[in-house]
Amino acid sequence: MRWLQLGLVFLLVLLQYRLWLGENSWPEVHRLDAEIAARQVEIDRQQSRNVVLEARVDDLKSGLDAVEELARNNLGLVKPGETFYVIPADEADQ
């Protein structure tokens, strides 16, 4: 009877060791869950960015309005007959 009790205690200790310190232990599972959650947040952020970029690409492919806007804002281009005015910023605004 004594050997049976010792064997069961040994088995219990062995199983507890694997649960807390062994491969795929309880703390490791929680760490992996946290890592999955962090990666999912990053994936969601990247997917929303992709949606915005896809909309911009579709806009650029479909018409000239987006191309004209980019040319005006980034390159300072104007249409023939238009007058371009530059209003200097105040030093207080900077």
pLDDT in tens, 29-83: 899 999 999 999 999 999 999 999 999 888 888 888 888 888 888 887 888 888 8
* Angle in degrees, CA 33, 37, 41, rounded to 5: 170
* pTM, entire model: 0.54
Whether the per-residue pLDDT at 94 is higher than 70: the answer is no
The pLDDT assigned to 48 comes to 97
**Side chain identity at 50, as an amino acid letter?**
N
Tell me how far apart the alpha carbons of residues 47 and 41 are, in angstroms, rounded to a whole number.
10
